[in-house]
Amino acid sequence: MQQTYQNKISSSGVVATDTSGVGTVRGGLDAAAYGGDKAIFAYGDPASTNLVSNTGVVAADVSSVGTYPREGIGATNYGGDKAIFFAGSGTGVSNLVSNSGVVAADVAKVGSIRQNVTGAGYSFNA
């Protein structure tokens, strides 16, 4: 069985040694910042979601919503405190993440169906 590990990175870019991780080992997932000082890892195969606190603590698997498993998904932050997960596995759906880490159900596709995508944050004002 594969072991999960996590590494905390300091504000000066120093990477910590491996520490035991939590949650399900998976591939094809993505992550984004939300709430101004937290992160979320979601989807992939098998699908699950993990919230990361502002101190770097990773939560155990939490319920996922929407279309999953989805690999090759993209994610980014927007609006200064929210996030979005989009596309992946030949779908065009997206999922919005509130500033408290709540993932919304599928939002109808807009644009082309894509896989193995990436995103860039925008609008850093809340």
| Confidence band for 1, pLDDT divided at 50, 70 and 90 | very low
Written as one letter, the residue type at 113 is: I
Cα–Cα dist 38/53, whole Å = 5
Q: Is residue 7 part of a domain?
A: no
For residues 67 and 39, the model is more confident at 39
Residue 111 corresponds to which tokens in the numbers above? Answer: 């644009």
> Residue 126 domain-assigned?
no
Judged on CB neighbours under 10 Å (0-12, 13-18, 19+), 124 is: exposed
Convert the pLDDT of each residue in 66-103 to its tens digit.
Answer: 776 688 888 999 988 999 988 877 777 888 999 999 88
Q: Is the pLDDT at 13 greater than 80, yes or no? A: no
> Taking a C-beta distance cutoff of 8 angstroms, is the pair 76, 67 a contact?
no
Question: Torsions phi, psi of 39, nearest 5?
Answer: -135, 160
14 in any annotated domain: no
Residue-number span of the structural domain to which 95 is assigned: 26-120
**56 belongs to a structural domain:** yes
Asked if the structure places residue 80 within a domain, the reply is: yes
Task: Please count the structural domains in the chain.
Answer: 1
Q: Is residue 3 part of a domain?
A: no
